[in-house]
Every structure is written in structure tokens, then in C-alpha cells.
Amino acid sequence: AKEAGRGQFHFYTEAMNRHTQAKLALENSLHNALERDEFVVYYQPQASLLSGRLVGAEALIRWRHPERGLVMPDEFIPIAEENGLILPIGEWVLRQVCRQIRAWLGDGLPPLTIAVNLSARQFRQEDLVERIRGIVEEFAVDPACIELEITESTAMEQADITVELFRALRAAGFCIAIDDFGTGYSSLSYLRRFPVDRLKIDRSFVLDIADDPNDAAIAHAVIKMAASLGLKVVAEGVETDAQRQFLQERGCDYLQGYWYGKPMDAEAFAAFVRTALGK
């Protein structure tokens, strides 16, 4: 038993080392990814549940890794958040989105609202508001075309400062959404004080919405509460028609999910928009 125990320990550390080494290798190549121009922004369409029409998209980063192929954000955003690279990466995403909005307008596409994720570190930058204002001005993009997504847990950390920041961002013309709503611990009193435009119901509640009475009750409660506060609700991760129907019947405003469209590169998204709008 002792032998086996030691063997297992050995195995465990080796597995750990492999994991740590893989993470280190990824972190190393992450340092050069920006200058090597390896990131790409995908766009996932959002639609109105009432009219069925396309209303905008969320910008989602991917990493075209020279050896590993397309790396998903869940694999590198947490590392970038830890080592601070998220600051230049986050600004690159916003800049890329603004550049793309300009290009689409030039190509005759109608103005759409594009949601951009702001990480916790970005959100805590002293000069956040000036920085992002500077970027949209650089491309002469209307801030109203940009929706900034902040997760519920980031917003609730230092909620008083959040209220001030949201005010300043909205005064500058940006839209604000609370992301991953339902996974943090918002108190209703704070939610009332947050000057935001939309709540995004986390995918984990949408998943079993049509089968699990608890998730259904939570989603329904969020929709009703948001309506009473004058906020719009976006349901994330809608994959099935049953989910869509449930949300529509309960007055959810918008949906985002594979049912309507997967995240796609800028070119595919432009084609999607033209088809959706019949142009």
C-alpha cells in the first residue's frame, strides 16, 4: 500500500508539472501574441425576442496560436488577468472593434451596438474612462455603439466606486451591461443604484430553463425584476427552440446563443448581417 501510495504521489506531481509547464509555455507565448498580431475578434449576433431582428453582437477574442491553432479565451484570459497582459489585450480588442465598426459603416452596413468585455483589472484602472473615450475618438465611433460588459462579481466588488464609474461611462455616452448575472451576489439595493442598460442572464441558468423549475424560476424572477427597474435583459447561451420560447413568453428582451448564431469572424458576421437584414 505504501508503494502504491508513493507511486500515486509521483504520478500526481508529474501530472502537475505537465500542467504547470503547459501553462508556462502558453504564458510565454502570450507575451508576444499582441506584437505578432495573433489575436482575432469574433462577433456573436444578438436578436430581439420581440421582433426576431438582429440588434447587435458581442465581441469575443480568440488567439490564433502558431502551433496550437485557435485557442479559446477561457484558456488565456485568466492568465492575462493574472499577469496584467489583459490591459493591453483589452485595449486592443476595443480598438479592433472600433476599427471594424468604421469599416462596416464604410461598407454600407447599418450601425449596430457591439458589446465589449471589460476585465476586472481594466475596470480598476484609474484612468479607465479617459482611456476608452480616447480609443473611440481615435476612430470617430459613436460611444452609443459600444456596450461595455462588466461581470456582476466585478461590479459588486467596491460597489460604491462602481456606481461612480458607471455614471462617468454613461455620461460619456457608452451603454453598460452587467454580465454573467445571477452568478454573483448582487443585492437588489445596489442593482437599483447601478446606472446600467442591460442585464445578461448567465448561460448556466438558461441551460436547463425548459426542464429545471428552479432555473426557470430564477430566470423568470430576473426578467421581472429587471423590467421593474427599467433594465433590458439579454439571455446568454440560448441553444434550443424550447429555451427561446420560454424566454419569449416571459418577456425577455434579447437573446444571444447558438440557436441564433455562433461567434464568427468579422467577414462572416458582415455576411450574417446582410442576410438578416435582407441587404
Nearer to ligand C2E, 99 or 203 (CB): 203
Contact 61, 76 (CB under 8 A): no
CB of 114 to ligand C2E, least distance (A): 11
**Binding status of residue 180 toward Ca ion by CB under 5 A:** yes
CA distance 161 to 156: 9
Residue 55: name its binding partner from Ca ion, ligand C2E, none (Cβ under 5 to 8 Å by kind).
none
Phi, psi of 71 (to 5 degrees): -100, 130
Nearer to Ca ion, 29 or 123 (CB): 123
**Binding status of residue 73 toward ligand C2E by CB under 6 A:** yes
Beta carbons within 10 angstroms of residue 268's beta carbon: 14
Binding map of ligand C2E across residues 164-183, x = CB under 6 A, - = no contact: ---------------xx---
CA distances from 259 to 49, 178, 208 (A): 12, 22, 15
CA distance 145 to 142: 6
Beta bridge partners of 65: 69
Nearer to ligand C2E, 193 or 259 (CB): 259
Helices (H), 34-117: 73-83, 86-106
Q: What is the number of H-type helices and E-type strands within the chain?
A: 12, 10
Beta bridge partners of 256: 46, 236
**Binding status of residue 239 toward ligand C2E by CB under 6 A:** yes
Contact 151, 144 (CB under 8 A): no
**Binding status of residue 155 toward ligand C2E by CB under 6 A:** no
CB of 253 to Ca ion, least distance (A): 16
Nearer to ligand C2E, 38 or 193 (CB): 38
Write out the binding residues for ligand C2E, residues 85-104 only, by CB under 6 A.
86, 90, 93
**Binding status of residue 113 toward ligand C2E by CB under 6 A:** no
CB of 90 to ligand C2E, least distance (A): 6
**Binding status of residue 60 toward ligand C2E by CB under 6 A:** yes
Phi, psi of 252 (to 5 degrees): -65, 140
**Binding status of residue 147 toward Ca ion by CB under 5 A:** no
**Binding status of residue 242 toward ligand C2E by CB under 6 A:** no
CA distance 148 to 109: 21
The residue within the footprint of ligand C2E, chosen from 137, 258, 275, 277 (CB under 6 A), is 258
Q: Give the residue from 184, 188, 193, 128 showing the smallest Cα distance to 160.
A: 193
Rg (CA), the chain: 20
The residue within the footprint of Ca ion, chosen from 117, 119, 154, 256 (CB under 5 A), is 117
The residue within the footprint of ligand C2E, chosen from 133, 170, 193, 203 (CB under 6 A), is 203
What is the contact surface with Ca ion in residues (CB under 5 A)? 117, 149, 179-180
Residues that bind ligand C2E (CB under 6 A): 44, 60-61, 72-74, 77, 86, 90, 93, 117, 119, 179-180, 203, 236-239, 256-258, 263
